[in-house]
Amino acid sequence: MIEFKTDKVLVRGLSKDIKIKAKLEVPGDKSISHRAIMLGSLAGGKSTVSNLSLSRDNLATIAAFRKLGINIKKQNSSGSNKDFIINGTGLYGLKEPESVINTANSGTLTRLLAGILAGNDFFSVMSGDRYLNSRPMKRIIEPLSLMGAKINGRKDGSYPPLAVSGGRLKSIFYEVPVPSAQVKSCIMLAALFAEGDTVIYEKKGTRDHTENLLKLQGYPVNVDAPVNGGSLITVKGRGRGELKPFNISIPGDFSSAAFFIALGILNEDSEITACNVLLNDKRIGLIKALEMMGANVDLTLTGEVPERTGDIKVKYSALRGITVPLELVPDMIDEFPIFSVIASFAEGKTTVTGAKELRVKESDRIKTIIFNLKRIGVGIKELEDGFEINGNPSLKNFKPSMKSKMDGLTVLNPFGDHRIAMSMIIMGLILKNRKIELRNIRCINTSFPEFFDVLAEITV
Ligand code: S3P
């Protein structure tokens, strides 16, 4: 089924006899893990965080805060290796880093940390891998500059490395021009150090993990829903609040669970339950889209703190194509790679528009989805802000002619993007008569180093 070679895999379709009936857990949510490390470091005292994601992105956040002088260690040598203690030193307790902070592949780390560094009276530099260093940063430099921050970057502040000369900030009113939780959170974190109340308006609410954790820490943050929609967030500034330490267990990452949700829905006679998964309303747009397509999905709530959590049970379903409602797009922004795989097997046309943000993710996801699905033979058309897929349920059993190049082997390319890599592996498992080769799979470690272990557990 899956054969490993050096940094590449050969994926064959799951045998018809494999009917998956499984319960699984995925590692802690990546977005909440970043924020727990950051806000735990800024809290006045010891926080405990269980089930922290050990993805490459999150390890980079731990390393960054250690470099800023924070003591972060495992809870105990005998317990889970995902349980951590963060010894926060308060809002003004960070130390100037002596060398460049490595932000790896992580847009969240780079953008959120920029907000914190901007309010700290020292010099720091952030730089990541070649993919991260070509992602747009003007979107945070603009509001931070309005707050009085001094930040420089490559190409006139467009790209990392970013050099931050932190200092006193002033509060602003800011309407976030693109739906982005990273931009919103960057400003919220800078607001903790600013003089006065900072007010942020988002036309369409995005993931609110920063708001939720700040509230859990007793910090004065107010979220209103104005009459014209969206959300209006007010963060009290310098000297107006304190960040209390917290003890949390991080729910499973919905974006990681999404690959197994897809497998359960697409593989005949299968039933998969992903347990203890984050069900924040701003993260589960994929569930709503799947329900519109006719998928059999069942949610059971199991907890509310630090965020809504529950079990997701899916069963093999016949799907029909849909037009994804515009308002769902930000709530499933990380799930479009796997959604494109799901839509490839639905009856009829699926259209995604209003998703231009996909062009500035870990790869230009519109291009990388199109490149890979075209190689497989999916009818897909590129749109400026999305794509159109002509789904075909019988694609699963399509047999390439033996004369086709390289004995029916289709070579795909994740372009360094973890979610494209995992999506194409699920695609390969569903195509019964094909062989898919996927190169450079190390990028999967960016968010989900345990991906192949979970897959092996449920498919043997
Ligand atoms: C994230 C926000 C989203 C998302 C990313 C994680 C976060 O990015 O795509 O994977 O943790 O805030 P944008 O804010 O750029 O939409």
333 lines ligand 1 (CB under 6 A): yes
How does pLDDT run along the chain (460 residues), one tens digit per residue? 788 777 899 999 998 878 899 999 999 999 999 999 999 999 999 999 999 999 999 999 999 999 999 999 999 866 789 999 999 999 999 999 999 999 999 999 999 999 999 999 999 999 999 999 999 999 999 999 999 999 999 999 999 999 999 999 999 999 999 999 999 999 999 999 999 999 999 999 999 999 999 999 999 999 998 878 889 999 999 999 999 999 999 999 999 999 999 999 999 999 999 999 999 999 999 999 999 999 999 999 999 999 999 999 999 999 999 999 999 999 999 999 999 999 999 999 999 999 999 999 999 999 999 999 999 999 999 999 999 999 999 999 887 766 555 567 999 999 999 999 999 999 999 999 999 999 999 999 999 999 999 999 998 7
pLDDT at 328 (0 to 100) = 97
Cβ contact 429:11 at 8 Å = yes
The sign of the CA dihedral 61, 208, 43, 36 is: negative
Cβ contact 204:330 at 8 Å = yes
Is the N-terminal amide bond of 306 cis, ω within 30° of 0? yes
185 lines ligand 1 (CB under 6 A): yes
| Eight-class DSSP state of 27 | P
Return the ∠ at Cα 245 (arms to 244 and 247), rounded to 5°.
135
For tokens 């880093």, name the residue: 97
Tokens of residue 114, six digits:
């920029």
**N- to C-terminal Cα separation, the chain:** 10
Separation between Cα atoms, residue 124 and residue 133, nearest integer Å: 16
357 lines ligand 1 (CB under 6 A): yes
CA of 334 to the centre of ligand 1 (A): 8
Tokens of residue 150, six digits:
């001094």
CA of 180 to the centre of ligand 1 (A): 6
- With CA atoms as reference, report the closest residue to 93 among 44, 158, 164: 44
Considering the entire predicted model, what is its pTM? 0.97
Helices (H), 356-417: 365-376, 405-408
Tokens of residue 26, six digits:
């995925």
Separation between Cα atoms, residue 378 and residue 257, nearest integer Å: 24
379's CB contacts (< 8 A; 6+ apart) are: 389, 390, 392
Phi/psi of residue 71, nearest 5 degrees: -85, 110
If phi > 0 it is left, if psi is from -120 to 50 it is alpha, else beta; for residue 231 that is beta
Which of the residues are catalytic? 334
Helices (H), 327-413: 336-344, 365-376, 405-408
CA 106 to chain centre: 10
181 lines ligand 1 (CB under 6 A): yes
Tokens of residue 54, six digits:
């050990």
Q: Which atom of ligand 1 is nearest to the CA of 30?
A: 11
Q: Whose CA is nearest to atom 10 of ligand 1?
A: 334
Cβ contact 109:34 at 8 Å = yes
CA 24 to chain centre: 19
- Interior/surface letters 369-406, b for 16+ CB within 10 angstroms, e for the rest: bbbbbeebebebeeeeebbbbebbeebbeeebeeeeee
CA distance readout (Å), 432 to 17, 340, 435: 11, 18, 9
pLDDT at 401 (0 to 100) = 67
Separation between Cα atoms, residue 149 and residue 146, nearest integer Å: 7
CA of 357 to the centre of ligand 1 (A): 10
334 lines ligand 1 (CB under 6 A): yes
What type of residue sits at position 166? G
- With CA atoms as reference, report the closest residue to 90 among 19, 192, 236, 197: 192
pLDDT at 115 (0 to 100) = 98
Separation between Cα atoms, residue 374 and residue 137, nearest integer Å: 31
Separation between Cα atoms, residue 69 and residue 63, nearest integer Å: 10
- Domains of the chain are 2-27+251-458 (3.65.10.10), 30-249 (3.65.10.10)
CA of 160 to the centre of ligand 1 (A): 17
The sign of the CA dihedral 301, 302, 304, 306 is: negative
Phi/psi of residue 367, nearest 5 degrees: -65, -40
pLDDT at 399 (0 to 100) = 79
CA of 71 to the centre of ligand 1 (A): 26
Separation between Cα atoms, residue 160 and residue 137, nearest integer Å: 7
Pocket test for ligand 1, best of 29, 30, 31, 443 (most atoms within 8 A of CB): 31
Q: What are the beta bridge partners of residue 389?
A: 350, 380
**For the residues of 232-259, what is the DSSP string, one character each?**
EEEE--TTS------EEEPPBPHHHHHH
Q: Which atom of ligand 1 is nearest to the CA of 112?
A: 12
